[in-house]
Structure 1
Amino acid sequence: MNQMLELRGRWTLITGASSGLGVEIARTIARDHGGHVLLVARRRDKLEALCEELRVRHGVQAACIAADLSRPEDVERIFTEATQARDIHAVILNAGVTYWGEAMKLGWSEFQAMLDTNVTSMVRLSSLFMPYLVERGTRGGLLLVSSVAGLIPVPYQAAYSGTKAFVTSYGQCLGQEVRHTGVSVTVFAPGGIATEMLDRTGLSNRFKAGDLGVMSPEACAAHAVRAFMRRKELYVPGLLNQTLALAAKVLPRGFMAQRTAAIYKPER
């Protein structure tokens, strides 16, 4: 599958688009590629402000759907609303939540919300949009945002690491199954990103942009869109993150878990 994914003048749906990486992916697509964007997140006010920014600055079409991906009824509604009024050409499933701390202290309701957001909604939206993209025959694409934490075990982010391992494996498998259709599946696995999610967990007090593979959301978005358009099957941005991914293939997983535990263990 050598033909580049064309975004100009076509609609790309982006989840998790009210902050961080999702915002910068939307800006990159509108500014650099002239693509229309359909933004999905919980905070309508932020979505509408970003839509206005993209319309005024870059002359593209932009619309939004306010939805909570931890709610099954919202996930179903996203597909219905997205496909009613426009032809979706590309889908970027970026929404995700994390937890930093001891796994046994993660509340059950918090874990369920993480599982619903990071895994269940991703599978459901993939199962809805993939047949839609295939039937249209326009050689569209699906991007799943995973993490380096899905390639190596990350103690003190145990649940998050597990959900991202699922995303990585699922995405690569799905990509092979639909390869003959002309629709590409890209798994994008960044390291840390200096976003609100890092702030909410407290990890921003320990890791800053440039530290331990932590990227700015602007730089990370540029990598994500480039990999998506080139239809990469699995892409890890940044030399340090790529080195970690390679180390995960050759070093014992127990050793990798010990080293990451030493780095991520919260101070008592």
Structure 2
Amino acid sequence: MDINQASLQMHYDLHGKIEVISRKKIETREDLSLAYTPGVAEPCRVIAKDYEQSFKLTRRSNLVAVITDGTAVLGLGDIGPAAGMPVMEGKCALFKEFADVDAFPLCIDSKDTDTIVQTIYLISKSFGGINLEDIAAPRCFEIERRLKEMCDIPVFHDDQHGTAIVVAAALLNAVKVTKKEMGKLKIVINGAGAAGIAIGKHLINMGFGNVIMCDINGIICEGDEGLNPGQEEISHISNLNHEHGKLADALKGADAFIGVSRP
């Protein structure tokens, strides 16, 4: 049985990889009175007077919402919110296993930016952080930007920031091993979606050197027509020598290649 079939069987067996459990055992009448009515009214009153107490009196300080619209799930593309649920559950399991952070998967059945932003904003008071996951570019850039402006909790887009952090760590190690010089590297990134652009911006900010972005049409250069907002933004700080051509042209003399394109 290959890994795909083994995973499918595991999912059938488990009926989901996560569950909600109570942190307080309710075994007596007193337990019930403390966890629920009438005792629960007191923390409610305290939070009503001081919003910040919600992070101390509820689980939200350790609770992350893992949210997708199902439009860019793994390498599968736009497969819809329901089909994206196994990935969201998996990410929640990683949060718990590796960081002891509780996470809850939410799959939104909409591709409308305004609807997605408003939906997430309206539920944000239940969480301590928002983890956006597998939302297609360029819509993901606007969703993240607007939520950061509206919400009073951290908003993290894993496909952008998580990927960029991991790639930067790998390149730092590669620079040490190869004895190459920071600031003088030529780095080619194939794929100018959410991950590629975030990686490019992060590497440029860290001072690795000249980053050249490529999409399906070839090298992205400042002044190109047809760029989406994310590509337009990074075109001003990448490809410092204003190269043109295809991916093969960009790779000439490159020190590092990062592949984050679709198949």
TM-score with structure 1 length normalisation? 0.32
Bigger fraction of residues in helix: 1
Output the TM-score relative to the length of structure 2: 0.32
